[in-house]
């Protein structure tokens, strides 16, 4: 087990009608003037935004609003929010929504306390030192941004999508009400499940040796996500399944599933797949992050597994119950060819990847980049942003070059 630091300062308020406690919790934390950040779609139609505002009013917390956050939030609205936060002298930012609203709020919180342009943080030209506190009302379990140190923002003018990881990004409060997720569209639910599983796998496949306690947490979370996702597909109003998905999304990305698997001083995981996907949604902001990951992750796994077959075998065993055949034990009478140990490992790992991809597709996720409208001609357009964000060589499970990345993209078409 490698050395690690685990830090999770967020206060989580979880349960039925937790949304109506927002004002009480925000006021109890000492905040008096909030900037509410939201997308404007489902949180308005479902009445969630009105419930949050009523709760803040009842607690004596005044508020101003910034709506219009899109999926893959854009830097222009972040800059608008920073101006609003300063002008209105808010002391807390309250995103109501999923990862896009939360990440927009996090960027506003950083930028409001910085004299320069907030994009400097995402281009690594400056390091944040202060921020406004962020108190989340979560409506879409997926990104884990309600408990993570991550924030990802797009810049359409530069056709870039970049992230910043700092403990300043961790929210001080997360209101988590599973009932708010009952009306989520099936596609959005599926993309969220894919994203949370990907967060766990990025850490599991860090390239570092096994950590049994963390591996069991990671694989147990994935098994629970698969089971809950299948339940929700049949009954979208199943509270227990929705509650499990909401909590899994948090635990998948608050660092717990990577303890001991990171290289000290570096991020706890590989994160190549997230990097590859970010270029897809920078190219086309309508590509849902989870949907892109559903295509990229299996393609990456097929490319790199030989670097650490033992990790992929452990994943297959724990998550899907897949193990290599053993000619000395298993009945292979129906198989004509000889099964060598190397072939047994190959078949078990490939079967594991097939099982994972089939699960994603069973939820309605795409199988190929072509399903997302990405063509072979688009692949070269992805490379400049990847070079800026990841460099010439990247990855900890297996170090990759930009040519390797191109090959992975092409294999996923």
Answer whether 272's CB lies under 8 Å from 300's CB.
yes
What is residue 156's three-state secondary structure? coil
Q: With respect to residue 3, please indicate whether it lies within any of the assigned structural domains.
A: no
* 228 and 80 share one domain: no
Q: With respect to residue 5, please indicate whether it lies within any of the assigned structural domains.
A: no
Task: Check which CATH number belongs to the domain holding 21 and give it.
Answer: 3.40.50.1970
Q: Choose one of 117, 152, 181: the last residue of a domain.
A: 181
What is residue 189's three-state secondary structure? helix
* 256 and 126 share one domain: no
Full pLDDT tens readout for the chain, 413 residues: 999 989 999 999 999 999 999 999 999 999 999 999 999 788 999 999 999 999 999 999 999 999 999 999 999 999 999 999 999 999 999 999 999 999 999 999 999 999 999 999 999 999 999 999 999 999 999 999 999 999 999 999 999 999 999 999 999 999 999 999 999 999 999 999 999 999 999 999 999 999 999 999 999 999 999 999 999 999 999 999 999 999 999 999 999 999 999 888 788 899 999 999 999 999 999 999 999 999 999 999 999 999 999 999 999 999 999 999 876 676 666 666 777 889 999 999 999 999 999 999 999 999 999 999 999 999 999 999 999 999 999 999 999 999 999 999 999 99
Q: With respect to residue 229, please indicate whether it lies within any of the assigned structural domains.
A: yes
- Show the tokens assigned to 405: 């990345």
Q: With respect to residue 368, please indicate whether it lies within any of the assigned structural domains.
A: yes
Name the DSSP letter for residue 41.
Answer: S
- Show the tokens assigned to 364: 């309605």
* 206 and 82 share one domain: no
Strands of 43-91, DSSP E? 62-66
Closest CA to 36 of 129, 134, 168: 134
Res 208: pLDDT: 94
Closest CA to 194 of 296, 74, 315: 296
* 130 and 192 share one domain: no
Measure CA of the first residue to CA of the last residue in the chain; give whole Å: 38
E strand or H helix that includes residue 114: none
* 295 and 359 share one domain: yes
- pTM for this structure? 0.94
* 117 and 81 share one domain: yes
Query: What is the largest distance, in Å, between two alpha-carbon atoms of the chain?
Result: 76
Q: With respect to residue 2, please indicate whether it lies within any of the assigned structural domains.
A: no
* 173 and 213 share one domain: no
Neighbours of 279 (CB within 10 A): 27
Q: With respect to residue 6, please indicate whether it lies within any of the assigned structural domains.
A: no
Res 40: pLDDT: 78
Res 336: pLDDT: 61
- Show the tokens assigned to 199: 């967060």
* 133 and 193 share one domain: no
Sole residue written with tokens 């109890």? 28
Res 328: pLDDT: 67
Res 267: pLDDT: 82
Res 331: pLDDT: 66
What is residue 288's three-state secondary structure? coil
* 150 and 245 share one domain: no
How many residues comprise the chain?
413
- Show the tokens assigned to 273: 């797949």
Neighbours of 255 (CB within 10 A): 24
* 250 and 395 share one domain: yes
Q: Choose one of 181, 210, 227: the last residue of a domain.
A: 181
Closest CA to 250 of 39, 72, 13: 13
Q: With respect to residue 4, please indicate whether it lies within any of the assigned structural domains.
A: no
Name the DSSP letter for residue 74.
Answer: B
* 249 and 324 share one domain: yes
- Show the tokens assigned to 147: 């408990």
- Show the tokens assigned to 356: 């994972």
Task: Check which CATH number belongs to the domain holding 348 and give it.
Answer: 1.20.1090.10
Domain count, the chain: 2
- The CA-atom distances, in angstroms, between 350 and each of 165, 322, 346 are 33, 10, 6
* 283 and 361 share one domain: yes
Domain limits at 319? Answer: 186-411
HSE (side-chain half, CA atoms, 13 Å) at 345: 12
E strand or H helix that includes residue 153: strand 150-155
251 burial via Cβ count (<10 Å: 0-12, 13-18, 19+): buried
Q: Choose one of 166, 181, 196: the last residue of a domain.
A: 181
CA atoms of 141 and 215, how far apart (whole Å): 22
Q: With respect to residue 162, please indicate whether it lies within any of the assigned structural domains.
A: yes
């Amino acid at each position: 087990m490698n050395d690690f630091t685990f830090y999770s300062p967020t206060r989580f308020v979880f349960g039925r009608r937790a949304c109506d406690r927002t004002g009480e919790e925000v006021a109890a934390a000492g905040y008096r003037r909030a900037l509410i950040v939201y997308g404007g779609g489902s949180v308005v139609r479902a009445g969630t935004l009105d419930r949050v505002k009523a709760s803040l009013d009842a607690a004596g917390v005044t508020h101003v609003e910034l709506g219009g956050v899109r999926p893959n939030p854009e830097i222009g609205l972040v800059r608008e929010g920073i101006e609003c936060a300063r002008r209105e002298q808010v002391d807390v930012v309250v995103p109501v929504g999923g990862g896009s609203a939360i990440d927009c709020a996090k960027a506003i919180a950083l930028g409001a306390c910085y004299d320069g342009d907030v994009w400097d943080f995402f281009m690594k030209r400056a390091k944040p030192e202060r921020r406004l506190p962020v108190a989340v009302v979560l409506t879409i379990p997926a990104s884990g941004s309600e408990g993570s140190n991550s924030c990802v923002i797009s810049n359409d003018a530069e056709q870039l999508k970049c992230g910043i990881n700092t403990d300043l990004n961790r929210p001080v409060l997360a209101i988590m009400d599973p009932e708010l997720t009952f009306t989520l569209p099936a596609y959005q639910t599926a993309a969220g499940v894919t994203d949370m599983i990907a967060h766990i796998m990025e850490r599991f496949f860090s390239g570092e040796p096994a950590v049994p306690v963390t591996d069991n947490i990671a694989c147990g979370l994935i098994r629970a996500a698969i089971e809950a996702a299948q339940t929700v597909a049949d009954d979208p109003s199943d509270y227990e399944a929705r509650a499990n998905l909401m909590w899994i999304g948090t635990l998948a990305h608050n660092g717990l599933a990577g303890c001991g698997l990171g290289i000290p001083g570096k991020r706890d995981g590989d994160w190549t797949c997230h990097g590859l996907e970010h270029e897809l949604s920078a190219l086309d902001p309508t590509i849902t992050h989870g949907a892109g990951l559903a295509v990229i992750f299996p393609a990456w796994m097929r490319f790199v597994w030989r670097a650490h077959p033992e990790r992929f075998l452990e994943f297959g065993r724990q998550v899907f119950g897949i193990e290599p055949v053993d000619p000395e034990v298993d009945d292979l009478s129906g198989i004509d060819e000889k099964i060598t140990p190397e072939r047994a490992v190959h078949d078990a790992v490939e079967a594991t990847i097939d099982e994972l991809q089939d699960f994603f597709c069973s939820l309605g996720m795409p199988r190929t980049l072509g399903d997302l409208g990405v063509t072979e001609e688009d692949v070269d357009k992805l490379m400049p942003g990847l070079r800026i964000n990841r460099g010439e060589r990247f990855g900890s499970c297996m170090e990759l070059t930009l040519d390797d990345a191109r090959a992975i993209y092409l294999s996923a078409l």
